[in-house]
Amino acid sequence: MDHRLFALDSLPLADGGTLPSAGIAYAVHGRLDADGRNAVLCPSYFGGDHTAYDWLIGEGRPLDTRRYCVVTVGLFGNGVSSSPSNHPLGATFPRISPQDNVDAQYRLLTEELGVTELALVTGWSMGAAHAYQWAVSYPRMVRRIAPFCGSAATSEHNRVFLAALAAALRADGGADRGRRAAGRVFAGWAASHPFWAQGGYRELGFASREEYLTGFWEEFFVAGPSTEDLLTMIDTWARADVGTTPGFDGRTEAALGSVTAEAVLLPAARDLCFAVEDEARAAALMPRAALRVIPGVWGHLAGAGATAADREFIGAAITALLATQPAAV
């Protein structure tokens, strides 16, 4: 689907700096009701763009465009929204936090699109972190959240993975060697031991492990955003923590306890990037949260709708959540 670009001029950043000439890419599916309350927001994930959730969106799908106006929006650094590769600042592009992305998205929804309330914020991985941030930053606007295969705060274990990913990208000696190495780093974290033992990549049409590593993971990094763009998103991912929202002084638990939205948290069994245990603790801290664990061996990739079973599980959870009657905003 074609995207639009919302220009924000100068965006104040959470760390005190600014992003001049900021713009975020977005797409709109369906129509907004007269009262502006049937909107669903889907922030993109690492390397993703405004097409990231097409498998969830459309008539008869969980995000049914006959009923909801679904807005998909790209994160800063994804190569379409403002990023080092397309911005005048280039290599001096500032650090971006999830709060900065959410503040920009808030302006898009309220200033450009006329949204007054969000029926749902949902997303995978980095998109999940931004769903949490929405619920903490703008609680009076968000009725429901459904973060899948993500977290409200990036764990220490996850930071180890991100450091390895960044190191591979920075070690590039030409011919995209660093980007290809980063793809192989991600491959080891994206799916579980049983996935590899069972040759799960065959379900994606790859005949061997090596064919999968080169044809899927290396290609994802080589064909995607630039190295500097990827490093910007990695830094944003590493900085995710709702406890850093103004008013919470780094207290992640207090921030989660403040969430008023109805929520279903959807971690994946065997996800090496985001542990089920962390999401179980988050669910226990949130007043109106349920935990639903995505079964299977696909790990983090389950959140991308890797298989029909994953798509059905995530879709059913979102459909059930949208059928609830949450507390008044």
Residue 3, SS3 per DSSP: coil
- DSSP annotation of 295: P
Q: CA-CA distance, 106 to 97, in Å (whole number)?
A: 14
Active-site annotation holds for 15:
no
Catalytic position from the list 103, 241, 271, 310: 271
Q: With the C-alpha atoms ordered 88, 71, 39, 276, is the resulting torsion angle positive or negative?
A: negative
> Residue 250 CB: number of other CB atoms within 10 A?
11
Q: CA-CA distance, 74 to 22, in Å (whole number)?
A: 12
Tokens of 137: 């930053």
Q: CA-CA distance, 266 to 276, in Å (whole number)?
A: 9
Nearest to 77 by CA among 39, 111, 54, 43: 43
Catalytic position from the list 81, 125, 137, 192: 125
Q: What is the DSSP string of 63-132?
A: B-TTT-EEEEEPPTTSSSSS-TTTSTTGGGPPP--HHHHHHHHHHIIIIII----EEEEEEETHHHHHHH
Catalytic position from the list 29, 50, 87, 300: 300
Active-site annotation holds for 310:
no
Residues 61 and 99: beta-carbon distance below 8 Å: no
Active-site annotation holds for 50:
no
Q: CA-CA distance, 36 to 30, in Å (whole number)?
A: 12
Which of the residues are catalytic? 125, 271, 300
